[in-house]
Amino acid sequence: MNLLKKAKNLVWEKECEKAFWQLKGTLATPYVLSKPNTNKRLIVYLSVSNEAICAMLVQEEGGEVKSVYFVR
């Protein structure tokens, strides 16, 4: 976030490197979708902005949230 400000010198610290590799790993890992259980409730997450609309259909199973469908 500091890069968005008018900074004179860029300082690439360990925290920057760690955040970069975490973001890179997240973007490079495809979503793993699971088959929905028709006996359980589905949850829809919706994200809307001026540039994009994304929706994700998920289902809770065993205390874990599993992705069922994703549209970007």
* pLDDT of the residue at 2: 64
* pLDDT of the residue at 46: 95
Residue 9 lies in a domain: no
Residue 13 lies in a domain: no
Decide: 62 and 55 in contact? Cβ < 8 Å: no
Residue 51 lies in a domain: yes
Q: How many domains does the chain have?
A: 1
Collapsed DSSP state (helix, strand, coil) of residue 29? coil
Residue holding tokens 């920057």?
A: 16
Residue 3 lies in a domain: no
pLDDT in tens, the chain (72 residues): 666 776 667 778 899 899 999 989 888 887 778 899 999 999 999 999 998 899 999 999 888 888 898 888
* pLDDT of the residue at 47: 93
Q: Which amino acid is at 9?
A: N
* pLDDT of the residue at 59: 94
**60 - beta bridge partners?**
65
Query: What is the H or E stretch that residue 23 is in?
Result: helix 14-28
Q: Which amino acid is at 34?
A: S
* pLDDT of the residue at 20: 92
